[in-house]
Amino acid sequence: MNEQTEPNCDNELVLPWAGLMFRYQDLRHYYFFCLQNPAAEEKKIVLYRRADNDWHILAEEPFQVDTTKYYSLKAKLQGNRIYCYLDGSELFRATDYLYTQGKAGVRFNTDSRVKSINITMTKGEQHIFQSAKNKHEEEVDAIREEYPKPVLWKKLDFSHLWPFGCRFVNLRSAEFKDLLLLGREQLVAADLEGEVLWQKEGRISIHNIISRPDGKVEIPALSGKEIIIFDGANGQTLKAAPAPSTGKPRRRPSFDIKTVNLSDTSWSIILKLGAGKDLWAYDEDLKLIWTTSVKPDYGHSNSVIFYDVDGDGSKEILAGSTLLSPAGETIWQVEGYEEILNYKSRGCAWHVDSCVMGDFADDEEVDPVAFLSASSCGVWVVDALTGKVRNIHYVGHAQGTSVGNFRPDTAGLEVLVGTRWGNYGILNLFSGRGERLLTFEPDNISQGGPPANWTGDGRDLILLATSPQALGLWDGWGRKVVTFPVEDLPEKTTDYYRNWAGCLNLYGDSRDEVIFCAQGKIHIFTPE
């Protein structure tokens, strides 16, 4: 193994190491028996217990690593006792009660060679493991019987227009749910029978639509260097204005467009960069109202959101970690935001990737609450009225966020946050008050998924479609309770970077449908 490593977004210990992981819960919770070989510090062999950013040393010994030879590391587990061996001889032992079971593997963050890996169990241990596995599967199978089975309802084929993103919207009126296909160089509107209603050429981005009191539908959009409002019924341009200059020499500025009621009488357009600090607000006639900048930066599209925090009928704007008034004035910057900025020096992200805000706790003394997925700085739980931090959870690179009634037996709603860079696939479930309820890892790809109202009785499930093992609807206890028939899915449904999956009430009852789109084919499932 080498003596060098690089700063990373996984943890704050920048040490070159290689060794065994065992009783692995997820990428941030496990035991780690390793050779530690820093160039300028004491070289040693260490047994760690890892829990997020806490690397607790259970045992250690000085050890000079010869980088030209192989070493045999062995960990023997008996209940809460851990026995560690080096080249066949016991080195040390430790007692710990935190992790009682889990996976096994290897981990290294420097140039290393692994000759072989062996995992063995006694017959008694195999029996205990298989019995526990069978019991768990029987319990999950029984729970699955409580949920309706998915039935393929519609199949649409737009493969000749692929690739594109999907949006289901009311284009013609509130009575009709239609489909927008956002391609690389065109926007196509179609109905749920697959008939094209209209189409426009060019790269066009939208966020949501505006339903007028007279029943007409308008679509605010960005096309090239223009802000445009389309007629939802026929795609005709109703209004247009130049998009703002970013001062950067880009052929096509990267903006996200959002619409919001900044007053109780009219709607406005908020423009943000793909990631950055600047915001622009326009009225419904596309006249610039105000512009401002925030610090730290916001990240992806869902890092700028809206909520009526003070209950006055107008929505405030949460842009990353800054709350703005409808007039664009700063109400607060989150307490301790400098910590987010400091992650830049480690080569990690220092912005807020997504956020949610609302009355999640169902408690007047706590609500409203904001959850900031602050990239490498974890999840920040914030008093939405003051910007004061209530809790910080260092879960890794927090990115995707969704809200639902995932634990219907508890008050309020729950917030699901998924991680990415350095810790792909960990899903963290929080109560509306900000306590972490659960961490689970369906695969090492997902960053979470939308809530699905599959039963119509107030319970929400989590839709995942990032891999074959994750594909399905999951409950708030980390169990996959609804599976989809593979033969009815579009080809490459679980190809993460070439698919789309979502939940929406299309059929018209009280339950959501689940939509899968891959290779231009859209398959819609409804509960039986």
SS3 of 489-516 = CCCCCCCHHHEEEEEECCCCCCCCEEEE
The predicted pLDDT at position 348 comes to 65
What is the C-alpha R_g of the chain?
26
Tens digit of each residue's pLDDT (9 = 90 or more) over 507-518? 889 999 999 999
The H or E element spanning position 463 is strand 461-464
Give 265's pLDDT tier (boundaries 50, 70, 90). low
Closest to 278 in 3D by CA, of 263, 267, 287, 288: 288
Tens digit of each residue's pLDDT (9 = 90 or more) over 325-363? 999 999 999 998 888 877 665 656 678 899 999 999 999
466 pLDDT more than 60: yes
E strands, 37-185, are 44-51, 54-62, 73-78, 81-86, 89-95, 103-108, 150-157, 164-169, 178-183
Counting residues of the chain whose pLDDT is more than 70, the rounded percentage is 93
The predicted pLDDT at position 338 comes to 85
Residue 266's CB is within 10 A of a number of other CB atoms, namely: 10
Structure-token pair, residue 114: 């692994």
Q: Is 57 helix (H, G, I), strand (E, B) or coil?
A: strand
Give 373's pLDDT tier (boundaries 50, 70, 90). very high
CA atoms within 13 A on the CB side of 273: 18
Q: What span, in angstroms and rounded, lies between the C-alpha atoms of 407 and 458?
A: 10
DSSP states along 336-367: TTHHHHHGGGGTS--SB-EEEEE--SS-TTT-
250 pLDDT more than 50: no
Looking up tokens 């639902």 gives: 404
DSSP 159: G
E strands, 284-337, are 288-298, 304-307, 316-319, 322-324, 330-333
Any idea how long the chain is?
528
276 pLDDT more than 50: yes
Higher pLDDT, 491 or 24: 24
Average pLDDT, stretch 141-159?
96
C-alpha distances in Å from residue 350, one per residue of 171, 276, 279, 295, 528? 38, 11, 18, 10, 45
Q: What span, in angstroms and rounded, lies between the C-alpha atoms of 468 and 462?
A: 15
Q: Is 471 helix (H, G, I), strand (E, B) or coil?
A: coil
Average pLDDT, stretch 78-83?
96
Residue 446's CB is within 10 A of a number of other CB atoms, namely: 24
The predicted pLDDT at position 524 comes to 96
Bond preceding residue 296 cis, omega within 30 of 0: yes
Q: What are the residue ranges of helices labelled H in 2-63? A: none
Tens digit of each residue's pLDDT (9 = 90 or more) over 300-332? 778 999 999 999 988 999 999 999 999 999 999
The predicted pLDDT at position 215 comes to 78
Bond preceding residue 450 cis, omega within 30 of 0: no
Q: For 298-448, give the CATH class.
A: mainly beta
Residue type, 309: V
Counting residues of the chain whose pLDDT is more than 90, the rounded percentage is 69
77 pLDDT more than 90: yes
Higher pLDDT, 177 or 389: 389
Q: What span, in angstroms and rounded, lies between the C-alpha atoms of 220 and 239?
A: 9
Residue 325's CB is within 10 A of a number of other CB atoms, namely: 16
Q: What span, in angstroms and rounded, lies between the C-alpha atoms of 230 and 328?
A: 26
Beta bridge partners of 440: 427
In our burial notation (b when 16+ CB lie closer than 10 A, e otherwise), range 58-90 reads bbeeebebeeeeeeebbbebeeeebebbbeeee
- Confirm if 473 and 144 have CB atoms less than 8 A apart: no
Q: What span, in angstroms and rounded, lies between the C-alpha atoms of 428 and 415?
A: 8
Average pLDDT, stretch 461-475?
96
Ranked by mean pLDDT, the top range of 81-85, 246-250, 373-377, 493-497 is: 81-85
Residue type, 240: A
Residue range(s) in the chain whose domain bears CATH number 2.130.10.10: 298-448
Give 259's pLDDT tier (boundaries 50, 70, 90). confident
The predicted pLDDT at position 252 comes to 44
Higher pLDDT, 207 or 163: 163
257-271, 385-399, 486-500: segment of lowest average pLDDT? 257-271
Residue 246's CB is within 10 A of a number of other CB atoms, namely: 13
Q: What span, in angstroms and rounded, lies between the C-alpha atoms of 216 and 202?
A: 24
Average pLDDT, stretch 203-207?
85
Residue 477's CB is within 10 A of a number of other CB atoms, namely: 14
Domain range 17-120, its CATH number among 2.60.120.560, 2.40.40.20, 3.90.230.10, 2.60.40.650: 2.60.120.560
The predicted pLDDT at position 270 comes to 85
63 pLDDT more than 80: yes
Handedness of CA 446, 451, 455, 459 (dihedral sign): positive
Give 253's pLDDT tier (boundaries 50, 70, 90). very low
CA atoms within 13 A on the CB side of 332: 14
Average pLDDT, stretch 264-287?
83
Q: What is the residue-averaged pLDDT of the chain?
A: 90
Residue range(s) in the chain whose domain bears CATH number 2.60.120.560: 17-120
